[in-house]
């Protein structure tokens, strides 16, 4: 079953076509990579999927339901989470507080600023469980700003996972990490997200990571889909190598 279907999406900025008829299907349970050189339109497509941008034309369906142009919070309630630098605005908070807040926000709960976040028992239990899953249980009382980048990225994932999403969007989850950290993160994402049964749509410039993690790959180039297939099919595609895989490294 397709969890997500993007159909013929166009988006332009002041006459510049960032997306020109992009279609994409993400099967439930799969890890789907969206790759392409800088400016290919990957982030724009994420923004259309999550409702941050309305497309000029085309449709987005989630579990068969049309969600084109829905506001972000409604899309999130359906089970679409994005983990792009989520933790950053919470730098001065403690790690556990940030995850509790992410859980409360997802549930649509209103919280009282003078009531400590510890008082929200259900959300706190969920947050603690998620922190354990991402291996940050020992950091619960640390400030977010004290975390090294690798752990901050795990926290980003925790803040997305605590909403129990059906579809998780990760925008360049490995950006800025060292080679060793990237390897650890790939292992971590593969194990954790498969175990959790999360469907993943991610962008990434690290070709090795993409080929290791993804079940299917869509290659975007200049706002169009250049190719779609399994890692083997994409690796074998001369057109793709010329446009991206061989070019940018």
Ligand X SMILES: Nc1ncnc2c1ncn2[C@@H]1O[C@H](COP(=O)(O)OP(=O)(O)OP(=O)(O)O)[C@@H](O)[C@H]1O
Task: Confirm if 74 and 32 have CB atoms less than 8 A apart.
Answer: no
User: Among residues 22, 31, 44, 83, which is the contact residue for ligand X, using CB under 6 A?
Assistant: 44
Instruction: Indicate the burial class of 191 (C-beta count within 10 angstroms; 0-12, 13-18, 19 or more).
Output: exposed
Closest distance to ligand X from the beta carbon of 212 (Å): 19
Task: Confirm if 106 and 76 have CB atoms less than 8 A apart.
Answer: yes
Nearer Cβ to ligand X, position 124 or 216? 216
Q: For strands 167-171 and 224-229, give the pairing.
A: unpaired
13-21, 92-100, 184-192, 236-244 -> range binding ligand X (CB under 6 A)? 13-21
User: Among residues 3, 18, 155, 186, which is the contact residue for ligand X, using CB under 6 A?
Assistant: 18
How far CA 152 is from CA of 84, 157, 175, 217, 240, in Å, comes to 11, 9, 12, 26, 33
Does position 43 interact with ligand X (CB under 6 A)? The reply is yes
Task: Confirm if 160 and 199 have CB atoms less than 8 A apart.
Answer: no
Closest distance to ligand X from the beta carbon of 80 (Å): 18
Does position 173 interact with ligand X (CB under 6 A)? The reply is no
Task: Confirm if 1 and 29 have CB atoms less than 8 A apart.
Answer: no
Does position 42 interact with ligand X (CB under 6 A)? The reply is yes
User: Among residues 39, 105, 107, 229, which is the contact residue for ligand X, using CB under 6 A?
Assistant: 39
Does position 126 interact with ligand X (CB under 6 A)? The reply is no
User: Among residues 8, 13, 92, 178, which is the contact residue for ligand X, using CB under 6 A?
Assistant: 13
Closest distance to ligand X from the beta carbon of 158 (Å): 23
Q: Which residue has the tokens 């410039």?
A: 205
Residues that bind ligand X in the complex, under the rule CB under 6 A: 13, 16, 18, 36, 38-44
């Amino acid at each position: 079953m397709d969890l997500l279907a993007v159909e013929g999406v166009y988006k332009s900025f002041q006459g510049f076509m960032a997306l020109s008829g992009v279609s994409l299907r993400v099967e439930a349970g799969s890890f789907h990579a969206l790759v392409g050189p800088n400016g290919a339109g990957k982030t724009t497509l994420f923004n259309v999927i999550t409702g941050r941008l309305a497309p000029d034309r085309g449709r987005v369906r989630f579990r068969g339901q049309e969600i084109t142009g829905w506001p972000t919070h409604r899309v999130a309630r359906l089970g679409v989470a994005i983990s792009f630098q989520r933790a950053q605005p919470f730098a001065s908070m403690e790690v556990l507080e940030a995850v509790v807040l992410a859980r409360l926000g997802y549930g649509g709960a209103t919280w009282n600023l003078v009531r400590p976040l510890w008082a929200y028992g259900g959300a706190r239990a969920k947050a603690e469980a998620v922190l354990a899953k991402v291996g940050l249980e020992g950091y619960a009382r640390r400030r977010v700003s004290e975390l090294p980048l690798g752990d901050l990225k795990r926290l980003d994932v925790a803040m997305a996972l605590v909403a129990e999403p059906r579809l998780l969007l990760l925008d360049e989850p490995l950006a800025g990490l060292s080679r060793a950290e990237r390897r650890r993160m790939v292992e971590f994402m593969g194990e954790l997200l498969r175990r959790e049964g999360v469907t993943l749509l991610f962008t990434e410039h690290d070709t090795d990571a993409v080929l290791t993690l993804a079940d299917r790959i869509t290659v975007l180039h200049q706002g169009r889909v250049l190719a779609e297939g399994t890692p083997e099919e994409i690796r074998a595609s001369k057109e793709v190598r010329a446009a991206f895989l061989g070019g940018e490294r």
